[in-house]
C-alpha cells in the first residue's frame, strides 16, 4: 500500500514547477500526539509490505467500521491478511499458499470491492503476479500474469477496484524493466498491457482511477531518475515525465479525487526529502518539497479526507514513522512524528476513515503494526 514532539516552529521549502518558477511554502512542524497503537501480528517475522484499507458497512441497524491489512510473513514465506471490526481486536488469516511451499506475499496490495478483499502480490518462487480474494468466507487465488525464470513479473504491484467490480493492477516487469497493467472485468478474464517500456521504468508504481474509471499510474524511471505518470484515455495509454530535478520518483503513491485532480507523494533520492506533485484536472503540474528534516520520505503513502491531504512516510535518520497533512487548497504543510518507539515505519501505508489509520513494519520486534490518529 503506510512515528513526541521533537521539533516545533517553521521551516522553509522550495517548490519547483514545470515553468521552473520557484515558490516559497511554509512547512509547520507539528508536535506528536500519541494515539492508539497495537500489534496486529507478532508470530515470527511479519509485517513487511503492508497495505491498509478502511471500510464500513451496515446491517440495517448498525454501521460497522472495519480496518483490514495485507502483509508478508517472512518466516514462512506467506501472504497474510488481518482485519478488525468496531475496535473488537485483530483477526489474522492466511489466504491459501501458492503450491504449498511457494514463497508468496511480497509487494502485497489490498483493495476492497464492497466488503470483499482483493490482494495483488508476487509469487517469489515462480515469479508470477497473483491475485487472492475472499468470497463467503473462503479464500481463492489465481495467476494474473505468469512469469518464470526468464521473466519476473509482478514486482512492486498495486491494486484498485472500480464501481463495476472490475479489478485494475499496475506492476513492474523485473526482467525487462517495463511498467505493466492488468485488468479483469467482473466475470471476465485477465488482460495485460505494456504501459511504458522506455528505459527501465515501473518501479514504485501506484494506481488509482479517475471519475470515469480509467486508470492513472505514478512510477519511477530508474534510467533517468525521474517521476513519471501514465494515464489511459479512449483505449490508449499516454506516459510522461513529471519531476526531473535530481534523482526523484521513488516510493510513489497516487490519489485521484472525484474531480480528477491528481495528488502524488514521492521520495527525492538526491536530497533525501519527501516531495509532493499536484495537478488540477485542467491545470499544470506543480512540485513541492514537504519535509526535508533528516532523511525522510521513503515508503510514502497518500490519502484524502473530505478536506485534507494526509501522507505517511519513514524517517530513516531517526527510524520513526511520520506524517504530513494540509487542507486541500491550503499553502502550508504540517509534518511531525507519529510513532517513535523502536525502528518503525518501513513498509508504511495509510487509510482515512473516522481516523487516520496507518500500518507499518516494526523492524526491531519484527512485528506487523497498525495505529490510528485523529484527523
Say how far apart CA 198 and CA 221 lie, in whole Å: 9
Tell me the helix, strand and coil percentages in the chain, rounded to 5.
Answer: 0, 65, 35
| pLDDT over threshold 90, residue 116 | yes
Contact (CB, 8 A) for 350 and 14: no
Mean pLDDT calculated for residue range 9-26: 30
The whole-number average pLDDT for the span 68-87 is 96
Mean pLDDT in residue range 368-374: 95
What integer is the mean pLDDT of 155-166? 97
| Per-residue model confidence (pLDDT) at position 22 | 31
**Distance (Å, rounded) from C-alpha 204 to C-alpha 122?**
14
pLDDT of residue 150: 75
Residue 77: pLDDT over 70:
yes
Query: In whole numbers, what is the pLDDT of the chain averaged over residues?
Result: 89
- The predicted-structure confidence for 278-319, as pLDDT tens digits, reads as follows 999 999 999 999 999 999 999 999 999 989 999 999 999 999
Per-residue CA distances from 310 to 305, 317, 322, 335, 355 (Å)? 8, 21, 11, 10, 11
When pLDDT is cut at 50, 70 and 90, the band that residue 37 belongs to is low
The answer as to whether 269 is a domain residue is yes
Residue 59: per-residue pLDDT: 82
Residue 189 lies in a domain: yes
Q: What is the CA radius of gyration of the chain?
A: 19
Residue pLDDT, tens place only, 43-70: 999 999 999 999 998 888 899 999 999 9
Query: What cell does 70 get?
Result: 495485507
Task: Calculate mean pLDDT across residues 113-121.
Answer: 97
Percent of the chain past pLDDT 70, that is, above it, reads 90
Say yes or no to pLDDT of 42 above 90. yes
* Torsion, CA 144, CA 148, CA 150, CA 156, rounded to 10: 50
Q: Is residue 1 part of a domain?
A: no
Which of 158, 81, 53, 54 is CA-nearest to residue 368?
Answer: 81
The owner of cell 491528481 is: 262
Within a domain: 300: yes
**Structural domains in the chain (count):** 1
Residue 3: band (very low, low, confident or very high) from pLDDT cuts 50, 70, 90: very low
17-23 CB contacts, 8 Å cutoff, 24+ apart: 17/284, 17/285, 17/286, 17/287, 18/284, 18/285, 18/286, 19/284, 23/286
115 domain-assigned: yes
Q: What pLDDT band is residue 101 in, cutting at 50, 70 and 90? A: confident
What is the pLDDT at residue 337?
Answer: 97
Indicate whether 3 belongs to any domain: no
User: Is residue 311 within 8 Å of 301, Cβ to Cβ?
Assistant: yes
Q: Kindly state whether residue 2 falls inside one of the protein's structural domains.
A: no
Range of the domain at 241: 9-373
Instruction: Look at residue 83 and tell me if it is in a domain.
Output: yes
Rounded percentage of the chain residues whose pLDDT exceeds 90: 83
- Rounded average pLDDT over 319-330: 96
pLDDT for residue 7 is more than 80: no
* 36 has a pLDDT exceeding 60: no
Domain of 221: which CATH number? 2.120.10.10
For residue range 338-360, list pLDDT tens digits in order: 999 999 999 999 999 999 999 99
Amino acid at each position: 500500500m503506510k512515528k513526541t514532539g521533537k521539533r516545533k516552529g517553521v521551516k522553509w521549502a522550495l517548490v519547483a514547477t514545470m515553468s521552473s518558477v520557484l515558490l516559497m511554502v511554509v512547512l509547520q512542524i507539528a508536535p506528536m500526539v500519541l494515539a492508539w497503537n497495537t500489534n496486529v501480528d507478532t508470530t515470527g517475522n511479519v509485517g513487511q509490505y503492508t497495505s491498509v484499507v478502511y471500510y464500513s458497512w451496515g446491517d440495517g441497524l448498525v454501521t460497522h467500521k472495519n480496518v483490514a491489512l495485507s502483509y508478508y510473513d517472512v518466516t514462512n514465506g506467506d501472504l497474510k491478511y488481518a482485519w478488525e471490526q468496531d475496535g473488537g481486536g485483530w483477526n489474522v488469516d492466511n489466504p491459501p499458499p501458492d503450491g504449498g511451499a511457494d514463497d508468496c506475499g511480497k509487494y502485497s496490495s489490498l483493495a476492497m470491492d464492497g466488503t470483499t478483499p482483493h490482494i495483488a502480490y508476487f509469487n517469489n518462487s515462480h515469479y508470477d503476479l497473483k491475485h487472492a480474494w475472499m468470497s463467503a468466507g473462503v479464500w481463492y487465488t489465481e495467476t494474473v500474469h505468469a512469469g518464470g525464470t526468464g521473466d519476473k513479473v509482478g514486482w512492486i504491484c498495486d491494486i484498485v477496484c472500480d464501481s463495476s467490480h472490475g479489478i485494475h493492477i499496475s506492476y513492474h516487469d523485473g526482467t525487462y524493466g517495463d511498467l505493466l497493467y492488468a485488468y479483469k472485468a467482473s466475470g471476465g478474464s485477465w488482460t495485460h498491457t505494456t504501459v511504458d517500456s522506455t528505459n527501465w521504468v515501473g518501479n514504485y508504481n501506484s494506481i488509482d482511477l479517475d471519475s470515469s474509471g480509467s486508470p492513472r499510474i505514478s512510477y519511477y524511471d530508474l534510467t533517468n531518475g525521474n517521476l513519471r505518470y501514465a494515464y489511459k484515455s479512449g483505449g490508449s495509454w499516454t506516459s510522461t515525465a513529471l519531476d526531473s530535478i535530481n534523482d526523484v520518483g521513488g516510493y510513489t503513491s497516487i490519489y485521484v479525487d472525484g474531480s480528477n485532480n491528481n495528488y502524488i507523494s514521492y521520495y527525492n533520492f538526491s536530497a533525501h526529502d519527501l516531495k509532493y506533485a499536484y495537478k488540477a484536472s485542467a491545470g499544470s503540474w506543480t512540485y513541492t518539497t514537504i519535509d526535508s528534516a533528516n532523511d525522510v520520505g521513503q515508503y510514502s503513502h497518500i490519502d484524502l479526507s473530505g478536506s485534507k491531504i494526509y501522507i505517511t512516510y519513514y524517517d530513516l535518520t531517526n527510524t520513526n514513522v511520520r506524517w504530513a497533512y494540509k487542507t486541500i487548497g491550503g499553502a502550508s504543510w504540517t509534518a511531525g512524528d507519529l510513532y517513535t518507539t523502536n525502528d518503525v515505519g518501513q513498509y508504511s501505508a495509510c487509510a482515512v476513515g473516522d481516523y487516520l489509520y496507518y500500518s507499518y513494519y516494526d523492524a526491531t520486534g519484527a512485528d506487523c503494526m497498525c495505529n490510528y490518529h485523529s484527523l
